[in-house]
Structure 1
Amino acid sequence: MASISSLGVGSGLDIRSLVDQLVAAERAPRENRINSQQQRFETRLSALGQVKSALSDFRGTVRDLSSIDAFQKMKATSSDSDALSVSAESGAETGRYDIGVNRLADAQGAASSAFAARSSAVGSGTLTFRFGEVTTDGTGAVTGFAENTERGAVDIEIPGSANTVEDVRDAVNAAEIGVRASIVNDGSGERLVFSSSETGAANGFVVEAADDDGNNTDNAGLSRLAFNTAATNLEQTRAAQDAELTVDGLTITRASNTVDDLFEGVTLTLNGTTETAARVEISENRAAAKKQIQGFVDAYNGLQETLGKLTSYDAETDQAGPLNGDALVRSIQSGLRSTLGQTLGELEGTGLRSLADLGITTTRSGALEVDDARLDAALDENFDAVGALFAPTGLTGNADNVAYESSRSATQAGEYGVNVSALATRGTLTGGDISGSFPLEITDANDGLRFEIDGVQTAALNLTQGSYADGDALAAEIQSRINGDSNLRDAGISVSVAFNGTGLEITSSRYGSESAVELVSADAAGDFGLTVGDRAQGTDVQGTIGGREAEGFGRFLTGLEGPAEGLKLEITGEATGDRGSVIFSTGLMGELDRQISSFIDSDGTLSSSTESLNNRLEGLADDRQRLEDRMDRIERRYTEQFSAMDALVAELNQTSTFLSQQLSGLPGAGGSGGGGGLG
């Protein structure tokens, strides 16, 4: 028999089509079920993604209100901002003032005589810059100098190998002492110009020269740069002066044109003088706080709108949102509403314990609405408590000289009494009696000192040699040298030195146990009433918060245990004993933030649901592959069965044809023909 090379050839049937139709009939119910599940999972996954995105956006708004800074913004205005601009930081002192600017602060400048070239030699030796108030006469000669002991004297070495005009400029600038050196050609030659980087009369400077040519005052060698009461060899090009203001009729001066110590938290910038006083007003920025609160309400309503669409059901069209009846979304909505409806008991005495007290209420649809009149009244009458309703903070209105600094997550809401048993002190090294030593001669035998201040050691300090008439002059020189040390300046450390009538007192500017003053070495410590190794250390504040012992560090007192754990307060003032009480509120936003995080963080319930859906989608991909494998097997079986049928039909057809051919060849079969030879 001939072989069958194609389906249906033997039978004449479209067997390929029959097999495809049978396979499709087998596939349809199972594939439809997988497709339906995939669509349902993907729709839910997309909807949960929208929920997560909406919650994430809302959390951003919540976090904006989770810091008390959002409710401590201040409004600062000036009626003449061109001459006097003003800004205010959180917690600034409020008030209204009439301020006139009579004079701007300026910085000192001084110039040398002309040199032939920048490479001209100046001279070698040591330049010493001292800062303070410089007095000159009509000829420009220095007639007086009152040293600013808050700033240190600085020595700059000018070696013989690098003593040109350019070298001196570079050495002064490299020392970074608060004086900028430059070279200016004014037509007569190259002049060294020294300019103070700080304005104010107390930030002027004198220049002393220890000239290697042996003469420190003549107009030759390095001493041609001298500018002091003994030698005025520089020309003062600009005198240092303080700014002068009139504040509500009171005349005051400041060293800088940026004044930030006149009113707490307020910075005045002096740009020019005024003809008439400018009206300056500092007030709580209630408009900014209200805008923040309204933004929160709008964000919450936007979230509710998104959730409402996803969970909706239209009875008329019988159409439901993809998350209609979803238990997770219901839990989210319920949790948020519960948190926003909380009452903060710790704020009982403030009259603002809940959002409803601000005029923020929930409508029947679940949205928030604001009663503007009630909110405005709350902001006007109890601005601080409004912030406490939203963000963690401490209200210190019932405490004396106590300021809220910070808290930790462990700090619980409540009212805590504050009791101070010991105030913080500063390290003060007090010397012995040297009142009978004056005038005191400082020479190369007793000019060397080295201190350690707050754990940072100075370089070797050398006092200016000469005769000191009294203890005040000696104290001023020692303070100047200590504060001029680069190690201390880099660390932001300074001291004050005073003569108490009998001996020296060297006091760190820092408070607490890390405040310390030690004399490390001295050429002749006894001349100053000191002993090498003498050390004085400050103490930390001590006391209790909420009746429990607190940890002191400098002037900060922090709760160690119990409900007040982590509550950090700054203690100022001079009194010990009961200081009143601090109300600490955790605010609503912290809890709301934690709640949202429990939904959308990587280990949150939304993330778990999303992960579960993705796993189920992966499972459907496996189901789809198993279906494909099964359909391949079914297709092969049908193909084999129809192939066998086709071959059998072909064989039968061939047999039928053969038999027909054989039968037709038999005698007498078929045919009309011819005729017989039988008569």
Structure 2
Amino acid sequence: MGTVGLSFGSATSGQGFDVATTVSQIQAANQAIETPWQNQLTALKAQDTALSSLGTDLSTLSTSLQKLTDFEGVFAEKEGSSSNTDLLSLTSASSTAVAGSHTIVVGQLAQTSTDVSTTVSSASDTLTGTVTIQGQVFDTSTAGSNTLAGLASAINSAAIGVTASVVTDSSGTRLSIVSGTSGAAGQLSAITGTLTDSTSGTAISFSDGQAGQPGQAGQDAQLTVDGVSITTPSNTVTNVIPGVTFQLLAASATPVQVQITDDTTDIATAISSFVSAYNTVVGDINTQEQSASGGSSAPLLGSPIIAQLQESLTGSIFSGTASGSISNITQLGLTVNTDGTLTLDTDTLTGVLNSNLSDVTGFLQNSNSFGQTLSTALDNLGTQAPNGAIFLAQQQNSSQETALNADITNENAILATQKTQLTDELNTANQILQSIPEQLDEVNSVFDSLTGFNPNAQQ
């Protein structure tokens, strides 16, 4: 503890000293005991920041690797193509689809049954009478139902499996009825009743596309898939080819070739993302092994966690059993650089994906494979409780920080008590110093009364 001096001039001056300043100086000297604790806290918090960043980047790496090791991940994805997109378009190919070629002939498109009324001159014309649609009677005398718009609203509100709307063009206004079920099963029953446009006195009738009438008859799509006849109520066809959905666009005797393939483009993208995430983690580690230009060290320089990360990642990148012809990462176009990062040769990767996808899949997904080995290593390194290396390091730091903060809190409480006591003692001492001249005057007065001599008298 340093020495604190008092400045109060001559002892007989009555000047005293600045108590507050003196107490602050003494407290500052005593508080110096906390400086190493505060420095240690600062270093631990810097480590926390570095550990958190490492944990985040390791999590990103684990996620990117999981896309490659998951049996339902990117290796399961399929893509497809149609040889004639005017006749048939491919909508999707899920992970359950199997790579292969299929021949499809679209004999007939599916249609949804519709009925349409004859025209009235105006949408606001008043209607009279009743009409029966799908077995339900609609009476125009019911409030709000005596115009085409009102009748359409009443039909829609009845929820009878049809949709009604008012259609207007150059020839006039009509009521359109569309079945809610596509294909032959949705064929509307004949619309009956006596409905009259009271404004013009014209009877309104309906036709359903049968026998050349306006409207459209419901019918199923007909097609052959690899020589097998298929009937479907919709032009959107699912599960005829397992995992594949396609759209019928036009009927034709011309066969359409549908090709289902593995999505090697997405696989290559996923591997590239993995390389980028891996290099980010290695870059984090390399940064913690360097000193800044100003001479300050990285927060985790010399920390066992850095050595553990390096050893585990380096060991895992060269581990894992072979899968057929693929036994190491270099065959995937990956090269390890001198700083530990990876470089990807996309041409090599594309070639092996196109020529030997099954072995590449096994190299990443088989038991004890490269992918599974690295995945296990990452699980043991990250922020996962209770055994992740980063998690354990963070817990250790947290315990140390708690102890240091407790020491600082306790020391501050002691200093606060000392401050009160010290202030009281120094105030008492200061009062004594300030009272000395007055006490001397009293002594001199007594001496003068006894001897007739006043030492302070003017010479």
Q: Give TM-score scaled by structure 2 length.
A: 0.69
Change (3 A) 1:251 1:113: farther
Match for residue 600 of structure 1? 383
**Paired amino acid for 2:38:** N
Q: Is residue 293 of structure 1 aligned with residue 271 of structure 2? A: yes
Change (3 A) 1:173 1:391: farther
How far does the alpha carbon of each residue in 1:547-595 deviate from its partner, in whole angstroms, 9 at most, with x for none? xxxxxxxxxxxxxxxxxxxxxxxxxxxxxxxxxxxxxx87725861674
Q: 2:65 aligns with which of 52, 62, 66?
A: 62
Q: Is residue 632 of structure 1 aligned with residue 416 of structure 2? A: yes
Change (3 A) 1:225 1:31: same
Answer yes or no: is the 8 Å Cα contact 1:173–1:181 preserved in 2. no
- Structural mapping, 1:250-261, within 5 Å: 255=232, 256-260=234-238
Deviation at 1:275, TM superposition (A): 11
Q: Is residue 107 of structure 1 aligned with residue 112 of structure 2? A: yes
Mapped to 2, the partners of 1:652 and 1:618 lie a distance apart of 51
Q: 2:49 aligns with which of 46, 49, 58?
A: 46
Answer yes or no: is the 8 Å Cα contact 2:116–2:174 preserved in 1. no
Identity score, percent: 19
Q: 2:81 aligns with which of 42, 59, 77?
A: 77
Change (3 A) 1:269 1:661: same
- Structural mapping, 1:236-247, within 5 Å: 237-241=215-219, 243=221
Answer yes or no: is the 8 Å Cα contact 1:118–1:190 preserved in 2. no
Deviation at 1:82, TM superposition (A): 5.2
Deviation at 1:351, TM superposition (A): 2.0
Mapped to 2, the partners of 1:671 and 1:208 lie a distance apart of 136
Mapped to 1, the partners of 2:413 and 2:186 lie a distance apart of 92
Mapped to 2, the partners of 1:287 and 1:330 lie a distance apart of 36
Deviation at 1:287, TM superposition (A): 1.8
Change (3 A) 1:96 1:110: same
Match for residue 321 of structure 1? 298
Change (3 A) 1:81 1:590: farther
Q: Is residue 376 of structure 1 aligned with residue 353 of structure 2? A: no
How far does the alpha carbon of each residue in 1:195-214 deviate from its partner, in whole angstroms, 9 at most, with x for none? 37223xx64748599x9xxx
Deviation at 1:58, TM superposition (A): 2.0
What is the root-mean-square deviation in Å for CA atoms of aligned residues? 5.0
Paired residue total: 416
SS of aligned partner of 1:268: strand
Q: Is residue 268 of structure 1 aligned with residue 246 of structure 2? A: yes
Mapped to 2, the partners of 1:170 and 1:590 lie a distance apart of 64
Q: Is residue 335 of structure 1 aligned with residue 319 of structure 2? A: no
Deviation at 1:36, TM superposition (A): 1.0
SS of aligned partner of 2:339: coil
Answer yes or no: is the 8 Å Cα contact 2:37–2:404 preserved in 1. yes
Mapped to 2, the partners of 1:102 and 1:285 lie a distance apart of 30
Q: Is residue 312 of structure 1 aligned with residue 289 of structure 2? A: yes
Mapped to 2, the partners of 1:383 and 1:110 lie a distance apart of 54
Mapped to 1, the partners of 2:213 and 2:275 lie a distance apart of 66
Answer yes or no: is the 8 Å Cα contact 2:110–2:221 preserved in 1. yes
Q: 1:302 aligns with which of 269, 275, 280?
A: 280
SS of aligned partner of 2:69: coil
Deviation at 1:103, TM superposition (A): 5.4
Mapped to 2, the partners of 1:308 and 1:615 lie a distance apart of 27
Match for residue 17 of structure 2? 14
**Paired amino acid for 1:599:** G
**Paired amino acid for 1:616:** Q
Match for residue 181 of structure 2? 197
Mapped to 1, the partners of 2:218 and 2:243 lie a distance apart of 27
- Structural mapping, 1:546-585, within 5 Å: none
Match for residue 389 of structure 1? 363
Mapped to 2, the partners of 1:648 and 1:195 lie a distance apart of 108
**Paired amino acid for 2:336:** T
Q: Is residue 620 of structure 1 aligned with residue 404 of structure 2? A: yes
Mapped to 2, the partners of 1:662 and 1:257 lie a distance apart of 126
Q: 1:358 aligns with which of 321, 332, 338?
A: 332
SS of aligned partner of 2:286: helix
**Paired amino acid for 1:289:** I
Deviation at 1:70, TM superposition (A): 0.5
**Paired amino acid for 1:76:** G
Deviation at 1:600, TM superposition (A): 1.1
Answer yes or no: is the 8 Å Cα contact 1:353–1:389 preserved in 2. yes
| Residue segments in structure 2 that go unaligned for 5+ positions in a row | 1-7, 146-150, 193-204
Q: Normalized per residue, which structure has more helix? A: 2
Change (3 A) 1:356 1:173: farther
Match for residue 148 of structure 2? none
SS of aligned partner of 1:40: helix
Change (3 A) 1:372 1:657: same
Mapped to 2, the partners of 1:337 and 1:361 lie a distance apart of 13
Deviation at 1:318, TM superposition (A): 4.4
SS of aligned partner of 1:75: strand
Change (3 A) 1:262 1:669: closer
SS of aligned partner of 2:215: strand
How far does the alpha carbon of each residue in 1:473-527 deviate from its partner, in whole angstroms, 9 at most, with x for none? xxxxxxxxxxxxxxxxxxxxxxxxxxxxxxxxxxxxxxxxxxxxxxxxxxxxxxx
Q: 1:89 aligns with which of 89, 94, 100?
A: 94
Mapped to 1, the partners of 2:270 and 2:281 lie a distance apart of 17
Change (3 A) 1:23 1:160: closer
Deviation at 1:301, TM superposition (A): 0.8
Answer yes or no: is the 8 Å Cα contact 2:444–2:455 preserved in 1. no
